[in-house]
Amino acid sequence: MKIGMEGLQSYQVASVRMLAGGLSLLPFFFKYIRQTPRDKIPVIILSGILGNGIPAYLFCLAETRIDSALAGILNALTPLMALLAGLVIFKSPFEKKQLIGVSIGLLGVVGLFAANGVNTGYWYYGFFILLATICYGVNISLVHHYLKGFSSVQLSSIALFFCAVFTFPVLLFSNFFPLFAGPHAPWIPLSAATTLGVLGSGIATVLFYILIQKAGSVFASMVTYALPVVAIGWGLLAGEQIGWVQVLCLGVILGGVYLVNKK
């Protein structure tokens, strides 16, 4: 995302990501769309919007102001949001320690914001990541409750196809294509956004649907344990400043995630 936004607007990077993700699975779309019950297609489209479309724009918008490492740390809230979505929307059973875990995780988020001081822009853009994790959490519960029995490639190809259809007009009407007519065309940012779409949306979505179906929604959300570590690693390579307070707050968040998932 950071490399993509060196030559493209945040909404253009997100749109290229969705378009590349949809195109990467296009052959599977034509195979599976005819095999999918019509009443399930709207649910799959909603899953794509919540699990890919909206978060793609929210993350890119947030990273215009916050570090990618911090975005990855905040992404660790996904299991907590999955639990809350299950409780509020799907009336899933819960244990007291899970709510304690959610509270601890949110305390870690408050610590992250406080560590940067009272900066309105920082709070504002960090909030976009929180909204993205809510979308992820609702999508995890949605897939777990309503889309069992479908193959991961089937769900991913249909979901990302419609995400690509919905986001293509953004590129069409945002002066995107004329950028590549001149001598200073942003090919490297385009390549970064395309790679993000193929790997971070196309392949990753297939793997994540497999994880939800094989291991359940709560266990699937535990992939979040690895996300901040990877994000911090890339952040260090990109020269971002990561302090011990951020790492401590990450530990608090993951401690809350541990309580939510402990069995």
Helices (H), the chain: 10-24, 26-32, 41-48, 54-62, 68-74, 78-88, 96-115, 120-146, 152-172, 187-195, 204-215, 217-221, 226-237, 244-261
Q: Cβ neighbours of residue 89 under 8 Å, at least 6 residues apart?
A: 138, 141
What is the C-alpha separation between 209 and 150, in angstroms, rounded? Answer: 9
What's the gap between Cα 212 and its chain centre?
15
Looking up tokens 């030559």 gives: 7
Residue 238, classed as helix, strand or coil, is coil
Alpha carbons 171 and 259: distance in angstroms, whole number: 43
| pLDDT on residue 51 | 92
Q: How many CB atoms lie within 10 A of CB 249?
A: 24
Average pLDDT over residues 23-44: 94
Rounded-to-integer distance, Cα 102 and Cα 87, Å: 12
pLDDT of residue 217: 63
Q: Compute the average pLDDT of residues 10-38.
A: 95
Residue 90, pLDDT score: 78
User: pLDDT tens across 191-242, in order?
Assistant: 999 999 999 889 988 887 787 777 766 666 667 677 777 888 888 888 887 7
DSSP letter, residue 259 = H
Cβ atoms 257, 101 nearer than 8 A: yes
Place of tokens 């990450």: 250
Distance CA 140, CA 145 (A): 9
Q: What is the pLDDT of residue 89?
A: 85
The rounded distance, in Å, linking the Cα atoms of 56 and 13 is 9
Residue 250 has, within 13 A of its CA and on its CB side, a CA count of 22
Distance separating the N- and C-terminal Cα atoms of the chain: 36
Who wins on pLDDT, 149 or 19? 19
The band of 84, judged by pLDDT with boundaries at 50, 70 and 90, is confident
Contact 246, 69 (CB under 8 A): yes
* Mean of pLDDT over the chain: 85
- Tell me: pLDDT of 127 over 80: yes
Residue 157 vs residue 118, higher pLDDT: 157
Find how far residue 92's CA is from the centre of its chain.
23
pLDDT in tens, 1-22: 989 999 999 999 999 999 999 9
Q: What is the pTM of this model?
A: 0.84
165-190 residue pLDDT tens: 999 999 999 989 999 988 889 999 99
